[in-house]
Amino acid sequence: MSVKTGSLTAGLIVIGNEILSGRTLDANTQFVAQKLSGRGIALAEVRVVPDIEAKIVKAVNEVRAEVDYVFTTGGIGPTHDDITAASIAKAFGVKLHADPHARKVMEEHYGRTDLSEPRLKMAMIPVGAKLIPNPVSGAPGFSMENVHVMAGVPKIMQAMLENILPLLKEGPPILSHTVTCSLRESEIAEKLSALQDKYSDIDIGSYPQYRSGPNSLSLVLKSTRPERLKEATAELVEIIKSLGDEATPG
Amino acid sequence: MSVKTGSLTAGLIVIGNEILSGRTLDANTQFVAQKLSGRGIALAEVRVVPDIEAKIVKAVNEVRAEVDYVFTTGGIGPTHDDITAASIAKAFGVKLHADPHARKVMEEHYGRTDLSEPRLKMAMIPVGAKLIPNPVSGAPGFSMENVHVMAGVPKIMQAMLENILPLLKEGPPILSHTVTCSLRESEIAEKLSALQDKYSDIDIGSYPQYRSGPNSLSLVLKSTRPERLKEATAELVEIIKSLGDEATPG
């Protein structure tokens, strides 16, 4: 997908033992993927890593070398298991410092007298980073070069992402058409493969839905080129008809 | 977590453009994490990669070098975008072949005359792999050394995982206690950090729940040692009381 549909790519690093233990279902990936896609940026890789500095550093440095933008979620709170800021500093070979802007933002949110030591930990930001506003709970995220560090709590992450998006380059919109039919995958596989060969610039995916009965098949076409997409979709509808079935959009 | 609580570790590779585009919410990770945890195997890393052979090969080879077991989900169907078997063969430097056992299983499921070319594609398995039964839709998964290749459709993946689990080594059970309170993270952070220092063999995580009000905080303690876990949990309950709040289990 990243190869065919996106001129801009992103990676997401989900930091959190709670996802790896199965305690929490990660819904941030889907939100980030959809929002980026809407800006013409294709999510090319996601990694979920534990709250272990060496693992975070490795993931950040490997992924940021391969994509245009990296996003991280989780680990920026006030407790001992929040080690993302320190890990990002290490990944970039810079120090953490008490960022005066972060402190000011937090004074405004909590009041000066309520700035306890743990809260001040959330103002410890890698040297050279720019803050990402947090309208929900005060403590900011930050951007270090192409790495954007966000909270893990979905509501806060979503607000931070909305603040980052306007600052990113925009790719050509990734357009998507979905056609649903009641064929089995094996019935349409050969003709679908031929269609993919013909439209090599279009990303064609085949997704059977077992929840809604064994024979509900969604075929998804993605491209940044509206005319080609229209053409390929029309051909797909004809293929489905030729196999004795009916195509439903969406 | 993997470091503290698990003697056995696993990695999960989710193969699928539909997760990266945001079309589909990945629920397989949580299911796999919980099931493995129940066998004393800690999930140490998850990667979501697109339907691109080079990306799959790289992820599989990197992750299998670091953990005891690797699981993959997705990409084993009959269509052109199902490239997992070929990618796994490449990762291990072996060929794909028409596996006679896989063919037999599929003949039994579909009937011999219904074994079309696309369906036979699903019997193409890396040389040396062992089949994983698929009671839902016939086409098997397979295990190649420590890499277990499963379907992406949750119902099928779950059935395959249940067939793999009894074949894996079992670690000491990873026990978990959760204590909920209405403190803010910043109020308990310092004492929680001291508790973590004292019980360095226990994994202590702090998870604020913004959905259920700003002051609902879950503290999760994990260990394979029941006595130590009990002791640390009792101390945590006392800490919460000393801060003027009440601890609720679970």
**Looking at this predicted complex, what is its ipTM?**
0.94
Q: Chain A 102-161, CB below 8 Å of chain B: which residues?
A: 116-119, 121, 136-137, 153-156
- Per-residue confidence band for A169, with pLDDT thresholds at 50, 70 and 90: very high
pLDDT at A7: 82
Rounded to two decimals, the pTM is 0.95
Q: How many helices (H) and strands (E) does chain B have?
A: 10, 12
Query: pLDDT tens digits for A189-211?
Result: 999 999 999 999 999 999 988 76
Whole-angstrom distance, CA of residue B219 vs CA of residue B203: 10
Alpha helices in A17-99 (DSSP H): 17-20, 28-38, 53-64, 84-92
Has domain A2-167 been given CATH number 3.90.110.10? no
Closest CA to A209 of B240, B230, B107, B24: B24
The shortest CB-CB distance from A20 to any of B46, B82, B207 is to B46
- Per-residue confidence band for A4, with pLDDT thresholds at 50, 70 and 90: low
A10 touches chain B (CB under 8 A): no
- Is the pLDDT at A2 greater than 90, yes or no? no
Whether residues A193 and B80 touch (CB distance < 8 A) is answered with yes
- Is the pLDDT at A162 greater than 60, yes or no? yes
E-strand ranges in B74-171 read: 96-98, 124-126, 130-132, 141-144, 147-150
Burial of A100 (0-12, 13-18, 19+ CB in 10 A): exposed
Mutate which of A30, A37, A186 to disrupt the B interface (most B C-beta within 10 Å)?
A186
Whether residues B17 and A186 touch (CB distance < 8 A) is answered with no
Backbone dihedral angles phi then psi of residue A15, each to the nearest 5 degrees: -105, 115
- Is the pLDDT at A141 greater than 70, yes or no? yes
Distances (CA, A) of B98 to A188, A219, B57, B103, B132: 21, 27, 21, 7, 15
Query: pLDDT tens digits for B31-49?
Result: 999 999 999 999 999 999 9
Given this structure, which CATH class describes domain B175-249? alpha beta
Fold match flag (B2-167 vs B175-249): no
Conformation bin of residue A180: beta by default, left when phi > 0, alpha when psi is -120 to 50: beta
A43 touches chain B (CB under 8 A): yes
Please indicate whether residue B118 or residue A57 has the higher confidence score (pLDDT). A57
User: Across chain B, which distance is largest between two alpha carbons, in Å?
Assistant: 73
pLDDT at B2: 40
Query: pLDDT tens digits for B159-209?
Result: 999 999 999 999 999 999 999 999 999 999 999 999 999 999 999 999 988
Query: pLDDT tens digits for A16-25?
Result: 999 999 999 9
- Is the pLDDT at A213 greater than 60, yes or no? no
Closest CA to A127 of A88, A84, A96: A96
pLDDT at A6: 58
Burial of B74 (0-12, 13-18, 19+ CB in 10 A): buried
Domain chopping of chain B, boundaries? 2-167, 175-249
Judge contact between A151 and A134, C-beta under 8 A.
Answer: yes
pLDDT at B4: 58
- Per-residue confidence band for A138, with pLDDT thresholds at 50, 70 and 90: confident
pLDDT at B47: 98
Q: Which residues pair with B142 in a beta bridge?
A: B131, B149
Q: Which residues pair with A43 in a beta bridge?
A: A10
Burial of A82 (0-12, 13-18, 19+ CB in 10 A): buried
pLDDT at B226: 95
pLDDT at B225: 94
Q: How many CA atoms lie within 13 A of A176 on its CB side?
A: 19
Over residues A89-100, mean pLDDT: 97
Residues in chain B predicted with pLDDT less than 50, given as ranges, are: 1-3
**Neighbour count for residue A93 (Cβ, 10 Å):** 7
Q: Which of A114-123, A140-149, B91-100 has the lowest mean pLDDT?
A: A114-123
Structure tokens at A66: 């391969």
pLDDT at B113: 81
Closest CA to B43 of B14, B18, B68, B15: B68
Whole-angstrom distance, CA of residue B72 vs CA of residue B66: 15
